Amino acid sequence: MTTSQKPSITIYKANANPIALSEICAGLEEEGVLYEVVNISYSDVKTLAYNAANHSKLRVGIGITNESAALQLKNLPIDKPIFTIELGTHQAYPCCRKLGTNAARAIKGNKLV
């Protein structure tokens, strides 16, 4: 579900881990929230997430690289994302789905998982 015309969560990716990105998107889709994926030249994951949150009409952003993923809200400092996941193991992928789910729940005001 990718869109740029309706309010959506923004995902900034820089050389993103494709499995982790797919899991994050699946978590968002399960919650019925639209998202937009934007390719960005390399940056650290916290900066990606912070800038994505500031770009998102919903004030929630996700940053993802090949090594990590982060969930950020617009009001939080750049160095304080809600969640950060270190990627590279199969155990990290279920956490990526939860990251997507929690991003969606944050905009809905629902309890995080």
pLDDT at residue 3 greater than cutoff 50: no
Looking at the predicted structure, is the pLDDT value of residue 5 above 80? no
Which pLDDT belongs to residue 4? 52
Judged against a pLDDT cut of 70, whether residue 1 lies above it is answered with no
CB-CB contact of 61 with 10 (8 Å) = yes
pLDDT tens readout for residues 10-60: 999 999 999 999 999 999 999 999 999 999 988 899 999 999 999 999 999
Q: What is the distance between the alpha carbons of residues 63 and 14, in angstroms, rounded to a whole number? A: 8
pLDDT for 45 equals: 96
Going along the chain from its start, the domains and CATH numbers come out as 9-108 (3.40.50.10150)
Which residues are CB-contacts of 10 (< 8 A; sequence separation ≥ 6)? 35, 36, 38, 52, 53, 55, 56, 60, 61, 62
> What would the pLDDT profile of 72-86 be if each residue is shown by its tens digit?
999 899 999 999 999
**Spatial distance between the Cα atoms of 67 and 9, rounded to a whole number of angstroms:** 21
Q: Is the pTM of this model over 0.85?
A: yes
Quote the pLDDT of residue 89. 84
Q: What one-letter code names the amino acid at 89? A: T
